[in-house]
Structure 1
Amino acid sequence: MRIVIAPDKFAGTLTAVEAARAVADGWRAVDPEAECELVPLSDGGPGFVEVLHAALGGRLVDARVSGPLGDPVPARYLVVGDTAYVESALACGLHLVPGDRRDPGRSTTHGVGELVAHAVDRGARTVVVGMGGSGTNDGGAGMLAALGAEPASPLRRGGAALAGIGGPVDLEAARARTAGVRLVAATDVDNPLLGIHGASAVFGPQKGADADQVQRLDAALTAFAEATDPSGRLRGEPGAGAAGGLGYGLLLLGGTVESGVSRVLDAVGLAGLTASADVVVTGEGSFDFQSLRGKLPHGVARTAAEHGVPCLVLAGRVAVGRAEAAAAGVTETHSLVESAGSVEAALERSAEELRVLAGKVARRWKR
């Protein structure tokens, strides 16, 4: 029996690589003859560079850049030919901000701009920026400042500082720095920059913003949008609100928004691997309604369905009904919390409990 194991990360507990190994170990413990193909995945968030490096090879380039609070952090990007793959979370990820210092009004994407500049200065002609897992809400202003946009001071100090941006932002130097380079925002978030579906309202609370701060941050991003795109054309583009508005910053430089899931699935050759599989297993921390809006498990399930292969979801928690899951191409869903008996057990012993759950599922499918 051939099993393709293609999970995303279990946010806060397991990387995609760790999750894939846990599932494989649990499955093989029950069915030693099973052929397990491990295909850890990323939708553009944490793990993006690791997953693509495993699939594409290439060269990892180390750099030291500004973190979300301005402190230096180690980061890296992947170079394959003349294409650089940048994982924005390595420079501005929420995981880089201690819980007691989380303030999306102060955090900046300046380090992302430093990574982009590093890659461009070394010959990259295409830069793919993986989005997701950010701790920022600055509309990409910090990134633009790192590339030369003026006035640099308010742009690099986080989303709250944009409320006092005043006059227009000069993007000429930033656009010149990236001239001739194809910029791609790899994301499956389709939120605009502003409003009730925008970066501040939807993602701000996840980064520590309360209701009042959400309103202030949205107003600050509105001021930034007026100073950078008076026509209003780009602020409503799908994906402009990704990574706290980093998508908008890339759009200002002439970038495009593409599906992070599709890019990664193509890179790892999931369609070909699935075609010869008996079962596909995917998973993530929380399988919920957002998962059905183009997130990674949905992409894996869709690929499996195209080849008539059952797709099983093993997730930390499952908040999707059977009918909804089936409509998305998912054959079965299994909850780590239910299997472990409590949220605490699922979090504290994630790898162990995922191995146990995978074993339980394997018994049902063993031939």
Structure 2
Amino acid sequence: MTQHTGPVHIVIAPDKFAGTLSALEAARAVADGWRSVAPSARLDLLPLSDGGPGFVEVLHTALGGTLREAAVTGPLGGPVTARYLLAGRTAYVESAQACGLHLVPADRRDPARTTSSGVGELIARAAADGARTVVVGLGGSSTNDAGAGLLAALGATPADGLSRGGGALAGTGAVDLAPAREAVAGVRLVAATDVDNPLLGLHGASAVFGPQKGADAAGVQRLDLALTAFADRVDPGARVRTAPGSGAAGGLGFALLLLGGAVESGVGLVLDAVGLAGRLAGADLVITGEGSFDSQSLRGKLPHGVARMAGEHAVPCVVTAGRVAVGRAEAAAAGITETYSLAESAGSVAAAMERPAEGLRDLAAGVARRWSR
């Protein structure tokens, strides 16, 4: 790093470290580590989200507005408490708060049974609150029901057949979407995601994300067939099911597109909302990160978006991650100057997960020593 007459200016802009640290906790850990080495540095903490867990918290910090709380149907059918953000006439909904994987105990994870009904209930509440635009952050879901539960919560029928999980869709008969479309008439729906998977097939929701939610190989095949049967009912022209992003969050993207919604980049939306471009002005370094920095990270996920914007402002960008599975050449091609692995520093992924905050703080201290020379 070049010599400065004033304090070094560091922007700390991580995503969550899934399963261990929220984006805010990760940012604080990095800041604590940096201050332990360079206490005079100017640190700008900017926790981020790509639409998954933390989406509402990050946007509330950036935009203000009012947080609203609602009891909605959780992924297993019982009640859960979820919050959404109302900022002017725009509402921001985090689908993971209603149907997130973290809401399902590990021994009960079965994407054939989990429902997205609570997400539809949140959309209905936001519309009743006067929102004319509802932005739904997609990511971290436990569901694989093509958004059928969401549609049922907004009035699509038969409600019972649509709200019992993806597995039940194999036997769905005629589906009436008109009541759901009427419920959101006059409301602009946005699916905030950087997942470009279609609903069905080898790159679809079931095949790519089903195993992460508890489906074995046979279960993935059954789910894809069930979703195909449902899509044949509601998308006979096969236009929506092939759209990029229709497979996001177990097919929640598909449901929102059926209702006339649009897919937008979750990363782009968040980076614009928090004003990252302005906060990079005059910065000497930006530090981003996430739990696992791998090939998927280079396909439009948050660290890639931060690195791209940092490059536009000629600011070096480094990644601190729980594990790094990207080579130097790949990272450099994405605009990332250096990567630092918590698992490598701790000796293993398991060791890194035992003390994530402390480990990330120590890792950041090492980065500070390297970049302060």
Residue aligning to 1:116:
123
Deviation at 1:85, TM superposition (A): 0.1
The one of 321, 326, 348 equivalent to 1:320 is: 326
Residue aligning to 2:372:
366
Residue aligning to 1:307:
313
SS at match of 2:39: coil
Cα distance in 1 for residues equivalent to 2:47 and 2:302:
11
Residue aligning to 1:190:
196
| 1:142 is the counterpart of 2:149 | yes
Deviation at 1:275, TM superposition (A): 2.2
Alignment of 1:30-69 (within 5 A): 30-69=37-76
| 1:336 is the counterpart of 2:348 | no
Deviation at 1:359, TM superposition (A): 0.1
SS at match of 2:290: coil
Residue aligning to 2:13:
6
Where do 5+ consecutive residues of structure 1 fail to align?
Answer: none
Alignment of 1:155-170 (within 5 A): 155-166=162-173, 168-170=174-176
Please tell me the residue identity of whatever aligns with 1:344: A
Please tell me the residue identity of whatever aligns with 1:358: A
SS at match of 2:156: coil
User: Normalized against structure 2, the TM-score is what?
Assistant: 0.98
SS at match of 2:143: coil
Cα distance in 2 for residues equivalent to 1:15 and 1:269:
20
Cα distance in 2 for residues equivalent to 1:272 and 1:179:
36
Deviation at 1:162, TM superposition (A): 0.1
| 1:153 is the counterpart of 2:168 | no
SS at match of 1:239: coil
| 1:21 is the counterpart of 2:28 | yes
The one of 217, 230, 242 equivalent to 2:236 is: 230
The one of 271, 274, 280 equivalent to 2:280 is: 274
1:178-207 deviations in Å (ceiling 9; x for gaps): 001000000000000000000000000000
Cα distance in 1 for residues equivalent to 2:349 and 2:68:
38
Please tell me the residue identity of whatever aligns with 2:197: N
Deviation at 1:222, TM superposition (A): 0.3
Deviation at 1:124, TM superposition (A): 0.6
Q: How many residues align?
A: 366
Residue aligning to 1:202:
208
Residue aligning to 1:75:
82
1:43-68 deviations in Å (ceiling 9; x for gaps): 00000000000000000000000000
1:84-133 deviations in Å (ceiling 9; x for gaps): 00000000000000000000000000000000000111111000000000
SS at match of 1:236: coil
Deviation at 1:341, TM superposition (A): 1.6
Cα distance in 1 for residues equivalent to 2:257 and 2:58:
25
| 1:172 is the counterpart of 2:178 | yes
Deviation at 1:334, TM superposition (A): 0.4
User: Normalized against structure 1, the TM-score is what?
Assistant: 0.99
Please tell me the residue identity of whatever aligns with 2:100: G
Cα distance in 2 for residues equivalent to 1:22 and 1:281:
12
Deviating 4+ runs (over 6 angstroms): none
SS at match of 1:215: helix
The one of 223, 247, 251 equivalent to 1:245 is: 251
Where do 5+ consecutive residues of structure 2 fail to align?
Answer: 1-7
Cα distance in 1 for residues equivalent to 2:244 and 2:270:
20
Cα distance in 2 for residues equivalent to 1:127 and 1:154:
26
1:311-334 deviations in Å (ceiling 9; x for gaps): 000000000000100000000000
Cα distance in 2 for residues equivalent to 1:129 and 1:137:
16
Cα distance in 2 for residues equivalent to 1:250 and 1:48:
18
SS at match of 2:350: helix
Please tell me the residue identity of whatever aligns with 2:167: A
Deviation at 1:227, TM superposition (A): 0.7
Residue aligning to 1:85:
92
Alignment of 1:287-302 (within 5 A): 287-302=293-308
